[in-house]
Amino acid sequence: MPNSWSWVQFSDIHLGSPRSFRFQPKFNEQFDFAVEQIANSDQEPDFIIVSGDMCRDGDTHLFELEAAYDRLQQLPWPVYCLPGNHDIGGRFHEKNHARVNLDAIGRYRQVFGDDYYTFEHKGVRFICLDSMIFGTGFDAEKEQWQWIDEQAKDAHIPTMVFMHTLPFTNSPGSMPCTFEENFSAWYGNIPEEDQLRLAAFLKSINLLAISTGHIHVFQDRVVDGIRHVQCPSTAFLGNPEYLKEVNSVLGFLHWDMDDAHANVSLRQLEKESALEGYGPGGNIPVPERDYSAAWER
Ligand SMILES: [Fe+2]
Ligand SMILES: [Fe+2]
């Protein structure tokens, strides 16, 4: 296909430094393996997008953000990132001790730059959103909504939208997801009212797809006329107790644009790291059910 071009989407790479309290050298090595896999393929991407959770403990430590950023800058391709809960904190709720906060957003912006932005490449518009600030009531949330509304004026341009958490589970606004009563749904999604508002925006533009991470699975589906793709993690699998009817594998996504169509294919990780160890220096055994560390915070 002479006129096609491509990009790669990573998500939830969860890079850490040996100073991190949940450092797992395995995750860093698996990211290296994924990069090798791209370099050895005959499909050179124009750029890389990472849809959040670049870090393990970036919401806590500036040096974690810096370590992940430095690793990503070493790649031979341009890289675009957006924040996940492990980068700026999880969904806002007073009982969530690891909730998104202004200090963490400030640290993220200091290292990675804007947490929401747009760019164009070969006639396609890419919109990267900060899904963690939905429901916070911060000025930044209002500013982002105002900015999203402004993007609607260029409705005709073929557009890809990326963010970290789910835009909806079953269909926009259809599933109650409160912190107390349905924690998994609460953890995975943006607030119901934002699901509806975002869906209205997505339907108003020439949307190719919205693609997200956070759940650590692969899925490509159309809901309510909206194409929603989920990008898997290179680090660890999603919680199998929560996940049904999705493809839970380690890997990343290869996207190619052919005329005005965005094709996606799953690239499963060809090898897993055998590195062991956890915690500062990677010196303690990996706790059982390690994925819970992400799902229970
Ligand atoms: Fe993650
Ligand atoms: Fe996440």
Alpha carbon of 229 to ligand 2 centroid (Å): 15
pLDDT tens, position by position, 111-123: 999 999 999 999 9
pLDDT tens, position by position, 11-33: 999 999 998 888 899 999 999 99
Take residue 75 and report the two structure tokens written for it. 């790649």
pTM of the model: 0.94
Q: Which ligand is nearest to the CA of 54?
A: 1
Closest by CA to 74, choosing from 114, 22, 36, 126, is: 36
**Distant-in-sequence, close-in-space partners of 146: CB < 8 Å, separation ≥ 6:** none
Alpha carbon of 166 to ligand 1 centroid (Å): 12
Extents of the domains making up the chain: 5-295
What is the spatial distance between Cα 89 and Cα 243, in angstroms, rounded to a whole number? 22
DSSP code of 181? T
Closest by CA to 53, choosing from 220, 212, 170, 269, is: 212
pLDDT tens, position by position, 219-237: 999 999 999 999 999 999 9
* pLDDT number for residue 296: 39
* pLDDT number for residue 228: 97
Q: DSSP assignment of 188-200, as one string? A: HB--HHHHHHHHH
Section 255-281 average pLDDT:
92
Alpha carbon of 234 to ligand 1 centroid (Å): 10
Alpha carbon of 87 to ligand 2 centroid (Å): 9
CATH number, domain 5-295: 3.60.21.10
Alpha carbon of 10 to ligand 1 centroid (Å): 11
Q: Which ligand is nearest to the CA of 297?
A: 2
* pLDDT number for residue 242: 58
Alpha carbon of 86 to ligand 1 centroid (Å): 7
Alpha carbon of 165 to ligand 1 centroid (Å): 9
